[in-house]
Amino acid sequence: MSPLYVYALVAAAPPPEALGAGLAGEPIRVVPCEGVLAAVGEMEGPPELAAPALRAHDATVRRIAAATAALLPARFGSMARDDEELREALRPRATALRDALEMVRGCEQMTLRFAAAEGADPAVLAPRGALPEVAGPGTRYLASRRAEEEPRAIPEIARVLEAAAPLVRGQRLETHHRPPLLASAYHLVARGDLEPYRGRVAAAAAGEPRLRVLVSGPWPAYAFGPRELA
């Protein structure tokens, strides 16, 4: 048997016609393990890291996702020697993976990139949450460090996130220290709520002239695997 290339984890097996063929034209099948199923294809080795393969990986994951309610994409390049090695890798993580699959059920991922608008000084869009006035210097230092890692400490970003919040079922935030890029937000949004979500984000972003908000999606839930596996 050839090594296995892993496309995604799913909670229920999609119909065979939805699994279809993978990157190398190989048939995709599922490997079950304690309530989690891995969608895999047999390949000699990982695909080349290049744009066509990345697009093909994403297209395959999307096709499978469209046929099932709960899917977690595997990171590009994930390989296992055979079914048994894959099961061994999944088994100790099965509970966390089942929980993660439940969280993403019925949802798509939307991604927001927050950057300083053209002409805006990124330094102006700095975290400016209130620091405790009576705290000692150590406490104030720690609070300021926490603020640097919390995108919501930037009021412009916080207002956009608040506007989207009623339609957000799960959220991961990342701060970037690469001006003009400030932060990213990954949102789980129910499949039927994508257009209202876009509308809320667009309306909120229009009210923040110093902020540029780039919206992409819907994506498979790339950012919502269990943290300990990321």
Partner 1 sequence: MTDERARERLIEEADATLLELVDHVLNKGVVVTGDVMLSIAGVDLVYLRLSALLCAADLLFSSEPRR
Buried b (16+ CB within 10 A) or exposed e, 106-128: ebbbbbbbbbbbeebeeeebebe
User: For partner 1, how many residues bind (rule: CB under 8 A)?
Assistant: 49
Q: Which is nearer to partner 1, 109 or 168 (CB)?
A: 109
Least distance (Å) between residue 96 CB and partner 1: 10
Per CB under 8 A, 222 contacts partner 1: yes
Nearer to partner 1 (CB atom), residue 124 or residue 131:
124
The residue written with tokens 């991922």 in the block is 109
Query: 37, 36, 43: which is closest to 57 by C-alpha?
Result: 43
Considering the rule CB under 8 A, would residue 58 count as an interface residue with partner 1? yes
Residue 123 sits at the vertex; the CA angle it makes with 120 and 128, to the nearest 5 degrees, is 115
Please list, in sequence order, all residues whose beta carbon lies within 8 angstroms of the beta carbon of residue 195, skipping any fewer than 6 positions away. none
Told to check if 150 binds partner 1 by CB under 8 A, we report no
Return all residues near 117 (Cβ < 8 A) that are at least 6 apart.
209, 210, 211, 212
Of the pair 89, 158, the CB lying nearest partner 1 is at 89
DSSP 3-state of 118: coil
Question: Of residues 17, 25, 51, 137, which one binds partner 1 by CB under 8 A?
Answer: 51
Binding to partner 1 by residue 73, rule CB under 8 A? Answer: yes
Sign of CA dihedral 119, 124, 126, 130: negative
218 near partner 1 (CB under 8 A): no
H or E element: which one contains 105? none
Residues that bind partner 1 (CB under 8 A): 6, 9, 38, 45-46, 48-51, 54-55, 57-58, 72-80, 85-86, 89-90, 97, 100, 111, 113, 115, 118, 122, 174, 176, 178-181, 186, 214, 216, 219, 222-223, 225-226, 229-230
